[in-house]
Amino acid sequence: MQVQLQVNGRSVSIEAADNTLLVQALRENLKLTGTHVGCDTAQCGACTVLVDGNAVKSCNVLLAQMAGRSVTTIEGLAAADGTMHPMQAAFKDCHGLQCGFCTTGMVMSAVDLVHRHPGADEAQIRKQLEGNLCRCTGYQNIVRAVQQGAAAMAK
């Protein structure tokens, strides 16, 4: 199977088995290892990427479904010169990460959350982050980071 798609703004063509998951194609074919696999039941959200701007758990879609779509991974979020996206910067500023493993998926979910709910309050942010597990932070600083990141993205 040959699949053509956009990944982080670049057109790519991936040759892979029909049952290849998007996360496998990203990690193994494209070596974009910032997208992580934390479970096998689509519960943890560590593999979250944006597909045409919407957050998707990349362990839960086939590469074949991505033909002609535009995928953004954590590697594609910062500016070309390496300057972090406002949401990435907010996570650093608020200490919204510890071990970093869930972080990449968490940041992608947070970007999507702000697009869908620009003025979300704490309760809404907590509800919207239900699909992303973090074992380190207790979520408190993640919630602060999303609030701060949302404010920065609105500027």
Partner 1 sequence: MGAIEFDKLPHIGESVKRKEDYRFLTGAGNYTDDITLANQAACVFVRSPHAHAKINRIDISKAKAAEGVVGVLTGDDVAADKINGLPCGWLITSVDGQPMKEPPHPILAQGKVRHVGDPVVMIVAETLTQAKNAAELVEIDYDVLPAVVSARDAAKPGAPALHDIAPDNHCYKWAIGDKAAVDAVFAKAAHVTRLDLYNNRLVPNAMEPRSAIGAYSRASDEYTLYVANQNPHVERLLMTAFVMGLPEHKVRVIAPDVGGGFGSKIYLYSEDVCLTWAAKKLNRAIKWTAERSESFLTDAHGRDHHSHAELAMDKDGKFLGLRVHTDANLGAYLSTFATAVPTILYATLLAGQYTTPLVYVEVDAWFTNTTPVDAYRGAGRPEATYLLERIVSRAAWEMGLGQDEIRKRNFITTFPYQTPVALQYDVGDYHACMDSAQKLADVAGYAARKAASEAKGLKRGIGYSSYIEACGIAPSNIAGALGARAGLFECGEIRVHPTGSVTVFTGSHSHGQGHETTFAQVVAARLGIPVENVDVVHGDTGRVPFGMGTYGSRSISVGGAAIMKALDKIENKAKKIAAHLLEAADTDIDFAGGEFTVRGTDKKIAFGAVALTAYVPHNYPLDKLEPGLNETAFYDPTNFTFPAGTYICEVEVNPQTGETRVDRFTAVDDFGTIINPMIVEGQVHGGIVQGLGQALLENCVYDENGQLVTGSFMDYAMPRADDFPTFKLGTVCTPCTHNPLGTKGCGEAGAIGSPPALINAVLDALAPLGVKDIDMPASPSRVWQAIQNAKA
Binding site for partner 1 (CB under 8 A): 17, 27, 31-41, 43-44, 46, 73-75, 77-78, 82, 84, 88, 91-93, 95, 97-104, 107, 122-123, 125-127, 129-130, 132-143
C-beta closer to partner 1: residue 68 or 79: 79
Q: How many CB atoms lie within 10 A of CB 138?
A: 10
Strand intervals (E) in the chain: 2-7, 10-15, 48-51, 54-57, 70-72
DSSP lists the bridge partners of residue 4 as 13
CB of 46 to partner 1, least distance (A): 6
- Whether residue 107 contacts residue 88, with contact meaning beta carbons closer than 8 Å, is answered with yes
CB nearer to partner 1: give 104 or 148. Answer: 104
Shortest CB 155 distance to partner 1, Å: 19
